[in-house]
Structures are given as C-alpha cells and as structure tokens.
Structure 1
Amino acid sequence: MKASGWWARVLITAGARQQTHQDARANGRTWSDRDLTGAHLTGEYLVAAYLVSAGLTGADLTGADLTGADLTRAGLTRADLTEANLTEANLTRANLTEANLTEANLTRANLTEANLTRANLTEANLIAVLWSEQTRWPSDFGAVMRARSVPLGGGRWRVEGSGNSGADLSEPLVPVG
C-alpha cells in the first residue's frame, strides 16, 4: 500500500501517539513494510513508531520526533531528517544514502550496519551512537567516527565525548555519563 501526503500522516499518527511499538503491534497498528515514499511528515510525533522496512525514500521528516522509533532496514534514501529527534532510534541496516541529517539528534541511536553514504551530518548530535565495522559513513567520516569512539568488541563501537559531527578532533574525549 502506498501512502503520501496527508494520508501518510493519518496512517502513522492515528495510533502512534502515546504508544510503544509493542502496543502498536499488539493492536495491529504497524507501519512496517509500508511505502511512504515522498510522504510529508514535518514535525510529526512518531515516538516509538514501528517502521521496520518502511519505504521512506524522499520523505520529509524535518523536525519529526522519532525518539525510540524502530527503523530497522528502513529505506530513508534522500529523506530530509533536518532537526529530527532520533534519540535511541534503531536504525540497524537502515539505508540513509544521501539523507539530510543536518542538526538531527541521534543520541544513543543504533546505526549498526546502516548506510550513510553521502548523508549530510552537519552539526548532527552523535553522542553515544552505536555503530559497527559494517556501518557505511559519508566519505572520510569513518576515520572521524573511529577517533571519537571506543571499541565494544565484535566489530561494534560507541561514540564518546561530544559526539558532535562538527567537533574539533584535537580536543580530548569527554566521557559520556
């Protein structure tokens, strides 16, 4: 089913407010595998939304609150996530190729095996982001992330210190509390 514009907002927000993704699944409200290509979801409240494998290519999620959302394997190619709140979001294996994440909050987000090729991470907050050796960063960004991270074993890393994508790498790391 393909949804766009106002109908996409109805589908997602009708049951998402004040629910966890477990509640959404239990009530039959899941948005996994939905085609929301080009949807206009600016400023939407999508806290803990269950969007596994959702197609959000070119979607406008500017300023959306996706705190704790499950976006595992979601297609977010060329999506606009400017100033989006992705705190503790699960973006495992998500495709964020050419996504705009300018000033997005990715605190404690899981980017394990995510593809961020050519993504814009200008001033993105990457504090305590979890990532893996298979995570694909924008060109030359992998070295920056490795310098800002501590190894957890098994090819996984966690960003420490400020985590800001524009942080001065000459400054010492500050432990995250």
Structure 2
Amino acid sequence: MTDHERAEHAARLRGLLCLSCPDAPAGALELTADAITRCAVRVPAGAVPEAADLGRPRQPYSADRLNLCCADLRSANLTGADLSHADAYRADLSGADLTGAELSHANLTGADLSHATFSGADLTDANLSHATLRHAKMTGAILRDAALTDTALRDALLCGADLTGADLTGADLTYADLTGADLTRADLTDADLTDAVVTRADLTSAVLTGAALHDAANQCVVE
C-alpha cells in the first residue's frame, strides 16, 4: 500500500468511526484510524458502509477538532447532526464525499466544506451559516429553507440545486454555477453574485436587495 493509498484509507475510516462512535473524542477517532491503517496490507475495494447516525449532539470535548477531511460519507444518515465547532475547533469536512447523504436539519455552522461533494444530498433546513463551501460540488442538492448566511460559496457547483426559500444573505457566490437552480423565494440580500452563472435559474419572488450581479450570466426567471 502506498502512502497516498494509506492516507485515503485513513480518511475513509475516520468517516466510519465518526458515524459509529459519535460521542468519541475527535483525537481518539483519528488515532484509531491511523492505527488500523498502519496494519492494513491493501485498501478495501468497497466504500465505507453507512453506520449509526450523528443525530445526538457530540460531547463538548475541549480543543477537539473533528477531522473528517476527505472522509467517505456517501449516503450517510446525518439527520440533525451537530458538526459545528466554534473558532479553531470547527469541523473539517474539506474534500469529504457526502454524495446522497441525508443532512436535513444538520448544524454545519462554520464548518470547512471546501471541495466537498454533496451531489444529490438532502440539506433541507440545514444550518450552513458562515461555512466554507468554496469549490464544493452540490449538483442536484436539496437546500430548501437552508441557512446560508455569510456562507463562502465561491466557485461552488450548484447546477440544478433546490434552494427554495434558502437564506443566502451576504453569501459569496462569485463564480458559482447556478445553472438551472431553483431560487424561488430565496433571500439574496447583499449576496455577491459577481460572474456567477445563473442561466435558467428560477429567481421567482427572490429577494435581491443589494445583491451584486455584475457580469453575471443572467438568463434567469425573475418575477
């Protein structure tokens, strides 16, 4: 097993351990994943299976940053999960694969989700305020009534995403691709959509007060 394969295997294991042991300290999860990986001869062929959910709040371990960077969380049940951490201890899910995951009502406030994949994921009523979603892949994601206040969505791929009623107040959507997205009744007050692609996006009844739409590809539906 190469060092790169070992690192990928450890990342997948962190996702599985976090789902299986939601109350364990993040450091213990990381050490356990590393210990298992050191003894592995080859990378398992299958994806990390879905395990228990993270519906219960995690224990408030101090200085306990949750490291789920590049974790395999495809189709995981994270309904109501609390993956938010304050300041330096916020959750790191950068590069994580959450394709088809159930994240409705999840708390991802301030989480690092840059380069993460949420294609087809359900984030209905999730709180993503102040989260970092730069370069995130969210094609077909359901974000109905989600809180995305002051969220960094620069270069995010949101093609066909359902953002009905979402709160995008102050969100950074520069260079984001919103082709075919549903932004009906979305609040885009003071959002930055400079150079964003909004071709065929539905902005019916959307609030655009103070929104920056400079140079945006604005072939969209607005009523």
Which TM-score applies when normalising by structure 1?
A: 0.70
The alignment partner of 2:23 has SS state of helix
Higher relative CO (Cα under 8 Å, sequence separation at least 6) belongs to 1
* Aligned residues: CA RMSD: 4.2
Within 5 Å, which residues of 2 pair with 1:108-127? 108-127=135-154
Is it true that 1:34 corresponds to 2:60 in the alignment? no
Q: For 1:152 and 1:82, how far apart are their aligned partners in 2?
A: 22
Q: Who is 1:137 aligned against?
A: 163
**Superposition pairs of residues 151-170 of structure 1, within 5 angstroms:** 161=194, 168-170=210-212
Aligned to 1:172: 214
Q: Deviations over 1:87-130 (max 9, x none)?
A: 00000011101110010000000010100011100111000000
Show CA shifts across 1:57-113 (max 9, x none): 111100210010000001111110000000000000111011100100000000101
Amino acid at match of 1:100: N
User: Deviation of residue 139 (structure 1)?
Assistant: 1.6
Unaligned runs of at least 5 residues, structure 2:
1-15, 85-89, 182-191, 197-207, 217-223
Are positions 1:50 and 2:68 aligned together? Answer: no
Determine the structure 2 residue equivalent to 1:68. 95
Distance 2:145 2:166 in 1: 10
- What residue is the counterpart of 2:118 in the other structure? 91
Distance in structure 1 (CA, Å) of the matches to 2:156 and 2:176: 11
Q: Give a deviation string over 1:11-69, Cα, whole Å, max 9, x none.
A: 9643279x9xxx9x925795442232315287301110000001111111002100100
Tell me the TM-score normalised to structure 2 length.
Answer: 0.57
| Conserved? CA contact 2:118–2:139, under 8 Å | yes
- Partner AA of 1:94 in structure 2: A
C-alpha distance in 2, partners of 1:72/1:103?
22
Equivalent residue of 2:158, what SS?
A: strand
Q: Distance in 1 between matches of 2:154 and 2:146?
A: 18
Shift of the 30–11 alpha-carbon distance from structure 1 to 2, 3 Å rule, reads farther
Between structures 1 and 2, the one with greater strand share: 1
State how far apart, in whole Å, the 1-side matches of 2:137 and 2:76 are.
17
Letter in 1 for 2:50: D
Q: Rg larger in 1 or in 2?
A: 2
Q: CA deviation at 1:4?
A: 5.2
| Alpha carbons of structure 1 residues 119 and 16: separation in structure 2 relative to 1, 3 Å | farther
1:59 aligns with 2:81: yes
Count of residue correspondences: 161
Identity %: 30
